[in-house]
Structure 1
Amino acid sequence: MRYLTAIPVHNEEKHLESVLREVVRHAEHVLVVDDGSTDRTPELLRDFREVEVIRHPRNLGYGAGLRTAFRRTVDAGYDGLVTLDCDGQHEPHMIPEVAAGLAEADIVSGSRYLKVFDPAQSPPEERRRINVEVTRWLNECLGFALTDAFCGFKAYRRSAIEKFEITDLGYAMPLQVWVQAARHGMSVVELAVPLIYLDEERAFGGALDNSDYRLKHYRRVFQDALREAGLEVAGGCR
């Protein structure tokens, strides 16, 4: 299988070089989607000539970066796509293992909660609370059996990507992916990946930094996605 490995980035000068050095060791075709970075990210990317770069002229959002990666996968004729983040929380040496899962599923989704790799690692309480709640929606309303709704370490078959109609450009974009995956009857497997949280604060931006607001926003996006997909779901899911 010929697959693309894509990393959406925005102002990642702190982690970019170390992450990319590892990624290119484990992936043959690498794309970085620079979502309008204003730090040294564009300058640092010029040193990685083996890496394809698509740059958004301004910051559009995390979902926009993944949507660009989806389009590039299809346009360039790749068989699949692996995505991971550039914040040091994913293990690039696992890229081939994540991609290999596409032999049996349309989507391979990393899960930080299937297996404990390091007992000393734990997620921020509010982020874990939101993940648990959103994962419950996906399982109860869509019939999945997931343990991690928001892990960015994933793989997709091109045939799955071609069915997606992504309109949410922000951090709620995965909810559209899950709803549309259910709508099209896509097969999903989870793969245990290490839980890694670094000693730094990661901002979502604006009102989304408030966890209660963020959860309500995710709920609105989820409900809208259900309606747009025309799914027959229980009343409590609407």
Structure 2
Amino acid sequence: MKKHTTLSERLQRLKCCVVLATYNNENTLAAVLDGVLVYTNTIILVNDGSIDSTPEILTNYPQLIVINLPKNKGKGNALKIGFNKALELGFERAITLDTDGQHFPEDLPKFVQALEASDDKNLFLIGDRNMNEADVLARSAKGNRVSGFWVRFVTGLDLNDTQSGFRLYPLKALKQIRFLKWTKKFEFETEVIVRAHWRGIKVVNLPINVLYPENRVSHFRPFMDIARIVVLIIGFIVIKGVYIIPRDFYRRLKKKGFRKFFIEDFLGSNDSPKKKALSIALGVFVGLSPLWGFHTVIVIFLAIFFKLNKVIAFTFSNVSFPPFIPFVLWASLLTGNFLLSETTSSSITELTDFNAIRHLESYLLGSIVLSISAATIFGLLGYVILILFQRKNRAVSV
């Protein structure tokens, strides 16, 4: 079989191999292997417990590095095993494609060319199957839309295709990431996108061809696999609120200093004064609300949901930063007592050990009214200041 030796050599220079995970794809496996072997011999194949004629087919390909798993555990698990083997052999990157016949091995050069043309050699490339126009199965398109929505929700990445198995993984860059043990099926392909983005790895789509042959066997389960992806993303939303957003916020603040950060990230944001003011109001409202322990998660979730400025909302939610908690409790209880015409003593010293629980009704009512009032005042004040700042900048530029 004649090889495209130039591409094979380019793959070797990039320390890139091909990793294939297969399970009961006896109808299409040989054709996929033959297509890939036109370009390279460096193939690691993980047989994920196939019970069809896959073992017999593989006897015809002694040049492959084959890992036979005794029991089927899922595509994610098989890929992790294949990636570990690739790293063990000294490879720094791996191209994957599905063995169900939907991908064209002829697209392999596209990935190599895209990586070579980029200054970023840690690029994470995902094949874009053009799900809106290509002749694809409804359940595949549905799963991709669900995954794409949630990936965009937690990362901001606008990817057309998040579930494509035709990818170029920067294994060396991903090596330090500890993936979840239970992501053994299709949800792993969503997890790796999110975690790679959070690690600072650039994730981009690359147009590819796609075909769904009649003899194709798919193991994607629309309900269960989509449910697993949604559960994974819910966990990511929590992680983003509790760790990722605060981490990025403090990193930028530390790097720039407060003055530069305030001018560039706050005043200099491309968001409109209205959007910034609403972000301020949201942050103050959540920060003063009686939702202790969940302020960060809730403010980030709402900022993403309403498409507000996450940095501003998070910053102003810290109005209830630990040193200020007694004052917030005190002000809430005083407000509640006033509204209910209570005369109960409410000195700030009583509240340092959360004795406001004794007056729960007053506290809850007061905190809600206080949070709404303060959010309105801070939002309006912020809007006025931002409008004046914007006009001043325009006058200076003219």
Q: Which of 107, 122, 129 is residue 124 of structure 2 equivalent to?
A: 107
Question: Identity of counterpart residues, as a percentage?
Answer: 23
Q: Which of 225, 233, 239 is residue 222 of structure 1 equivalent to?
A: 233
Q: Which of 62, 76, 81 is residue 49 of structure 1 equivalent to?
A: 62
* Whole-Å separation in 2 of the counterparts to 1:198 and 1:159: 34
What is the match of residue 94 of structure 2? 81
* Whole-Å separation in 1 of the counterparts to 2:153 and 2:211: 27
Query: CA shift at 1:50, angstroms?
Result: 1.1
What is the match of residue 189 of structure 1? 204
Of residues 31-40 and 94-103 in structure 1, the stretch that sits farther from structure 2 once superposed is: 94-103
* Whole-Å separation in 1 of the counterparts to 2:29 and 2:218: 17
Q: Which of 126, 142, 153 is residue 140 of structure 1 equivalent to?
A: 153
Amino acid of the structure 2 residue aligned with 1:76: L
Query: CA shift at 1:201, angstroms?
Result: 6.6
| Closer, same or farther: CA 100–65 of 1 in aligned 2, 3 Å | farther
What is the match of residue 189 of structure 2? 174
Report SS of the residue matched to 1:34.
strand
| Closer, same or farther: CA 225–99 of 1 in aligned 2, 3 Å | farther
Query: CA shift at 1:102, angstroms?
Result: 3.0
Do 2:101 and 2:216's aligned partners in 1 also have CA atoms closer than 8 Å? Answer: no
What is the match of residue 53 of structure 2? 40
Which structure 1 residue ranges, 5 or more long, are not aligned? Answer: none
Query: CA shift at 1:38, angstroms?
Result: 1.3
* Whole-Å separation in 2 of the counterparts to 1:83 and 1:228: 28
* Whole-Å separation in 2 of the counterparts to 1:173 and 1:62: 8
- Deviation per residue, 1:196-228 (Å, 9 max, x gap): 1222574537xxx3x344433211012224545
Do 2:124 and 2:168's aligned partners in 1 also have CA atoms closer than 8 Å? Answer: yes
| Closer, same or farther: CA 147–59 of 1 in aligned 2, 3 Å | same
Do 2:237 and 2:301's aligned partners in 1 also have CA atoms closer than 8 Å? Answer: no
Give the TM-score taking structure 1 as reference length: 0.87
- Deviation per residue, 1:46-101 (Å, 9 max, x gap): 11011110111211111011101211121111131000110111111221321333
Amino acid of the structure 1 residue aligned with 2:156: G
What is the match of residue 27 of structure 1? 40
What is the match of residue 126 of structure 1? 139
Amino acid of the structure 1 residue aligned with 2:87: V
Report SS of the residue matched to 2:103.
coil
Report SS of the residue matched to 2:38.
helix
Report SS of the residue matched to 2:140.
helix
| Closer, same or farther: CA 42–225 of 1 in aligned 2, 3 Å | farther
Give the structure with the higher percent helix: 2
| Closer, same or farther: CA 114–101 of 1 in aligned 2, 3 Å | farther
Report SS of the residue matched to 1:87.
coil
Q: Is residue 2:180 matched to residue 1:163?
A: no
Do 1:27 and 1:96's aligned partners in 2 also have CA atoms closer than 8 Å? Answer: no
* Whole-Å separation in 2 of the counterparts to 1:158 and 1:217: 24
Report SS of the residue matched to 1:44.
helix
Do 2:103 and 2:211's aligned partners in 1 also have CA atoms closer than 8 Å? Answer: yes
* Whole-Å separation in 2 of the counterparts to 1:17 and 1:150: 23
Query: Aligned pairs, how many?
Result: 230
Give the TM-score taking structure 2 as reference length: 0.53
* Whole-Å separation in 1 of the counterparts to 2:22 and 2:65: 13
Which structure 2 residue ranges, 5 or more long, are not aligned? Answer: 1-13, 246-296, 306-398
Q: Is residue 2:70 matched to residue 1:63?
A: no
Report SS of the residue matched to 1:26.
coil
Do 1:37 and 1:59's aligned partners in 2 also have CA atoms closer than 8 Å? Answer: yes
Q: Is residue 2:104 matched to residue 1:94?
A: no
Report SS of the residue matched to 1:59.
coil
Give the structure with the higher percent strand: 1
Of residues 227-236 and 74-83 in structure 1, the stretch that sits farther from structure 2 once superposed is: 227-236
